[in-house]
Amino acid sequence: MRGRLHVVPDADALARAAAGEFLAYAREAIRARGRFTVALAGGDTPRAAYAQVAATWREWSGGPLDWSRVHLFWGDERHVPPSDARSNFRMARESLIVHVPLPRENVHRVPAEMPDPRDAASRYEVMLRDFFELDDRAFPRLDLALLGLGADGHTASLFPGDDAVDEERHLAVAAPGPGNGVGEWRITLTLPVLNRAASVVVLVSGAGKTAMLHRALEGPETEPLLPIQRLRPESGTLVWMVDREAAPWVR
């Protein structure tokens, strides 16, 4: 198994544990480098974790979080306006951003309202390069990348069989979602960005993810690897935070 596995009793415990990890990583990054950069995930499990962060950041044992030093990015986003109910930005805004004193300029959302998802991905890449002061060959080093796991083995919006999984030059690309239906285009960070993060945390909850989680952790690793199997931080940590329903085989 690659990475560290942390199993908790249920979804509520997972949200609390994930919030604690978020706050711990934030404190350490601010102490060491003066700021905390995190790519947020979408989905119900991260939503609960963000709500826990918003509820506990003042009283956390490590001391109140200095939100002026926190910078939010997104690992992926649906090709919808920020007001759309499907928007990962909207979810994070409702569960976290409006509840904490985060400066507006520290929110670096994907401009997913642009008509062409490819243009949105290009604009997002420019934003990332400008913020991290990168040339056109370098990749950023996020302090934390929060991710989920799809039942098909996707993570962020990197889906099995899509060209985006093999992207090695761009920081962000447009990718067709499942079925490539209307409104299903996504903008996603690429594997080189995710694998250069200082810490990668994958949140997994529920029995519906059991089979894929077991495959991701225990193999077999047969070619072509699933996107989740290609998470291999180059000089960072990989942590799997899961609830008991998702990992019933772990004692």
- Give the phi and the psi of residue 174 in degrees, each rounded to 5: -90, 140
Q: Rounded to an integer, what distance in angstroms lies between the CA atom of residue 2 and that of residue 229?
A: 9
CATH 1.10.150.300 given to domain 4-141+150-184+196-219: no
Q: What is the mean pLDDT of the chain?
A: 95
For the segment 178-189, what is each residue's pLDDT rounded down to a tens digit?
Answer: 765 445 899 999
For the segment 107-150, what is each residue's pLDDT rounded down to a tens digit?
Answer: 999 999 999 999 999 999 999 999 999 998 999 999 999 999 99
Going by their DSSP bridges, the two strands 199-204 and 172-176 should be labelled as unpaired
Give the pLDDT mean for 86-98.
98
- Determine the longest span between alpha carbons in the chain, in angstroms: 49
For the chain, give every domain's residue range: 4-141+150-184+196-219
